Chain A
Amino acid sequence: MANSEEQEPPKAFDEMLEPDGTVRMAYAQYGEWLEGVSKDTLIRKDQQADMMFRRLGITFTVYGDTETTERMIPFDIIPRIIDPNEWDFLARGTVQRVEALNAFLDDVYHDQAILKAGRIPPELVLNNDAYRPEMLDLDLPRRIYGHIAGVDVVRTGAREFYVLEDNVRTPSGVSYMLENRQTMMRLFPELFATNQVAPIGRYPTELRNNLKSVAPVGVDDPTIVLLTPGRFNSAYFEHAFLATEMGVRLVEGQDLFVDDGLVYMRTTAGPRRVDVIYRRIDDDFIDPLAFRPDSMLGVPGLLSVVRRGRVTLANAIGSGVADDKAMYVYVPEMIRFYLGEEPILQNVPTYSLRNPDDCKYVLENLESLVVKEVHGSGGYGMLVGPKSTKKEREEYALRLKADPEAFIAQPTLSLSTCPTWVNEGVAPRHVDLRPFVLSGRRTTVMPGGLTRVALKEGSLVVNSSQGGGTKDTWVLE
């Protein structure tokens, strides 16, 4: 198929094509195939994919003003392909980052050496809402806090990757990574015969082994459960999917209770002890006795069992202090401090509006910057300068002046584009990448990840809540 060359600003790096139009190495095989395939075939495969996802019931919940609806995240049938060298670089970089984040969390809940050394302003950590003094001086199995991490990476050039943010609370999206692959293998089996795509199917097994490896002391054959907020949660499909794939029980808060210093689940044969909880409920809601008392989702008394070391939570309570947007700036510093290494992946230059000079600069250059709420997520409440109207910028500026500490700003990155199936045919769209990093006996990353794509032409916002879709991500061997 012919690739459209119209109107795409020349500055965005294209994952498939060199500036002169030749196909890059990762896409060599695929490009040839795409050249030969008919538009009718792609239309049919696209419809087939849509039907497959509907039947699987992979939906997420959109919370509207008047009604709540179930929607599907659009799936794009053209894969994002990464060559072995690029992947090696990304893998080393993301693992390095997560190792540093785990070391940081262990430190801030023990000796606080990095704060004493003056490398991070103590108040940024200790006054942070996500910092949980309840976790102080608690020795976690293998000193791991973020057993599951998602590192959001964007690309701007052949060797230029930036980390946009780290996710070590309850990162989601891995079910899409796995289901997207299943779908692609069903739709295009011939492509997997010609491309050496690294398999990712062992993720659930690896996660389960890791969770087993962090069981409380003295428990050899731990009972592992996955704790979900319930079937009305937007990520419920993923929770059920992972529980099935791992072969563990999918529990809700009401299924668990604390008695005599241990956690139990209610079974048809009476109470049964639980040792490791992979929880997909935020800290705030996990224990109404310790945190938000109005939470109906959590387990009263859970924290007390954690403190006695009789149950392991993954990720640990208090992990959120490491992925806070205010802490992001210091991750390269953590890597140097704990690992004695230089960061492999770069941070995006970031302006903290708590700093008066930065604040002044940001207010003067709003039209070229992306401004985010420090505690926001999911692409809600951010300002994309170049895409904003004058009125939006003026309104946003008022919010910035009122509470500068709540915001950070970054230059607008020209995210790489990837060929994507859209109504008119194949066209470039901006993408990011979330590889999933697992920590247990070792820290590893699955060869792949979740590629999110901004389906609207020219858009840089890839979040599913803002009209983004997903792609299968191939790492070539």
Chain B
Amino acid sequence: MIGNSTTMLSRTADSLYWLGRYVERAENGARLLDGTHHLNLLPLNMDEQRELWRKLFQSDDEVESFLKKHNEFNDKSVIEYLTIDPDNRSSILSCIEAARDNTRAARAELTTEISQCMNQSLIDMRAVTMQSINDTGISEFLDFIKERTHLFKGVIYGTMRRGEPFLFWELGTALERAENTSRLIMTRAETFHRVHRRDDGFDFYRWGTFLRSANAYSAYRQIYGDIDPVSVAEMLILNTNIPRSLLACIEDTKDILKTLRREAPCAEMSERLAAEIRAVRLDQILRSGLGNFLNDFRKQVHALSDQIRIDFMMVR
């Protein structure tokens, strides 16, 4: 129960929400890169490789900022840009810096363990160079990021008092996850309806890698068995048992908002969004274009986060 005495500052709620988002963004950044790195191990020609790395940038703005610093899309330039480039505001380093900044801003609501874990992560992250990534290998580095974010979330789950502050952190995590999963699906949007050839080892590897990026490979094998793009889409969009599926993230968001304040407009909005997705028919969206569906989804998530700000952050 959330009594009056635990009412929290709007600004702190905002910081915890963004803390959740940035940590999740760092983790998903690592996942996306890892997937691309694995695909890059396939025998591809130069153009295919370039296209593969370019796919990690989904808007014209992102492409433009990247090209200001690098001439072409290849493993070295993209990895550097997306991991340790301090000028790229969505690099993993920038995400962790921003997460640390929000940890400091919300320091009084967090336990010492949480703050220490974040400080240590940033200290370690700041020490990373392209040289050290090359020395240990990119996979090792990305594993380190994933481990750190898991550790951080574990410390929060294990030590943080339950109540509003905790819920705002969970809220940021859930919404960011929803956006990131839609982003991940978008990297392959046009390939889902392509006919799958069972004997194609190439394709099997691609989809396997893709599922691993969503942390859903073994779950998929257990639930669906053989790899088939339509089932992959179904799982990542509609399966509520998969924590990164769009529906699971939106259901989480809805539950959190209802606990925070049942009658808030954003709670109703999330309820509508969840109902909409539940009613989705996969064959329909695949026919009308997965890209359109994902774009619409992201627009609705943005509208929802705007409404959350209006309802809780006393926006001036």
A236 to B105, alpha carbons, bound, how many Å? 9
Closest to A240 in B: B107
Contact with A along B91-132 (1 / 0, CB 8 A): 000000000010011011000100110011001000000000
* Contact yes or no, A231 B104, CB < 8 A: yes
* Contact yes or no, B8 A268, CB < 8 A: yes
Nearest CB of chain A from residue B170's CB, rounded to whole Å: 14
* Contact yes or no, B4 A269, CB < 8 A: yes
Q: Kindly name the residue among A241, A243, A251, A267 whose own CB sees the greatest number of chain B CB atoms within 10 A.
A: A267
Does A249 count as interface, using CB distance less than 8 angstroms?
yes
Which residues, 304 to 339 on A, are CB-close (under 8 Å) to B? Answer: none
| Residues on A with beta carbons closer than 8 Å to the beta carbon of B261 | 269
Which of B11, B101, B104 interacts with A254 by CB under 8 Å? B11
* Contact yes or no, A267 B104, CB < 8 A: no
| Residues on A with beta carbons closer than 8 Å to the beta carbon of B8 | 249, 267-268
| Residues on B with beta carbons closer than 8 Å to the beta carbon of A250 | 9, 12, 107-108
| Residues on B with beta carbons closer than 8 Å to the beta carbon of A269 | 4, 7, 261
Does A116 count as interface, using CB distance less than 8 angstroms?
no
Does A252 count as interface, using CB distance less than 8 angstroms?
yes
A57 to B104, alpha carbons, bound, how many Å? 9
Nearest CB of chain B from residue A69's CB, rounded to whole Å: 12
Closest to B4 in A: A269
| Residues on A with beta carbons closer than 8 Å to the beta carbon of B116 | 55-57
* Contact yes or no, B108 A249, CB < 8 A: yes
Does B13 count as interface, using CB distance less than 8 angstroms?
yes
Which of B12, B107, B314 interacts with A244 by CB under 8 Å? B107
Does A390 count as interface, using CB distance less than 8 angstroms?
no
Does A11 count as interface, using CB distance less than 8 angstroms?
no
Closest to B100 in A: A57
Contact with B along A258-279 (1 / 0, CB 8 A): 0000000111111110000000
A269 to B312, alpha carbons, bound, how many Å? 7
Does B164 count as interface, using CB distance less than 8 angstroms?
yes
Does A54 count as interface, using CB distance less than 8 angstroms?
yes
| Residues on B with beta carbons closer than 8 Å to the beta carbon of A18 | none
* Contact yes or no, A270 B119, CB < 8 A: no
| Residues on B with beta carbons closer than 8 Å to the beta carbon of A139 | none
Closest to B10 in A: A266
Does A255 count as interface, using CB distance less than 8 angstroms?
yes
* Contact yes or no, A268 B112, CB < 8 A: no
Closest to A241 in B: B107
Closest to B110 in A: A244
A56 to B313, alpha carbons, bound, how many Å? 29
| Residues on B with beta carbons closer than 8 Å to the beta carbon of A265 | 9
A237 to B8, alpha carbons, bound, how many Å? 20
| Residues on B with beta carbons closer than 8 Å to the beta carbon of A54 | 119, 123
A55 to B314, alpha carbons, bound, how many Å? 33
Nearest CB of chain B from residue A55's CB, rounded to whole Å: 5
Which of A236, A251, A272 interacts with B104 by CB under 8 Å? A236
Q: Kindly name the residue among A237, A251, A269 whose own CB sees the greatest number of chain B CB atoms within 10 A.
A: A269
* Contact yes or no, B13 A268, CB < 8 A: yes
Closest to B103 in A: A57
* Contact yes or no, A268 B119, CB < 8 A: no
With A54-B123, A56-B119 already in contact, the answer to whether A251 and B9 are too (CB < 8 A) is yes
Nearest CB of chain A from residue B134's CB, rounded to whole Å: 27
* Contact yes or no, B9 A249, CB < 8 A: yes
* Contact yes or no, A231 B105, CB < 8 A: yes
Nearest CB of chain B from residue A258's CB, rounded to whole Å: 14
16 A-B pairs whose Cβ atoms sit less than 8 Å apart in the complex:
A54-B123, A55-B119, A55-B120, A56-B112, A57-B115, A231-B101, A240-B104, A244-B108, A250-B9, A250-B108, A251-B9, A265-B9, A268-B10, A268-B164, A268-B168, A270-B314
Going nearest first, the 5 A-B pairs with the smallest beta carbon separation are A240-B107, A250-B108, A266-B314, A243-B108, A57-B119
A contacts, CB < 8 Å to B: 54-57, 231, 236-237, 240-241, 243-244, 249-252, 254-255, 265-272
Q: Supply 11 further A-B pairs (C-beta < 8 A) apart from A250-B107, A265-B9, A267-B10.
A: A54-B119, A54-B123, A55-B119, A55-B120, A56-B115, A231-B101, A231-B105, A231-B107, A250-B12, A268-B164, A268-B312
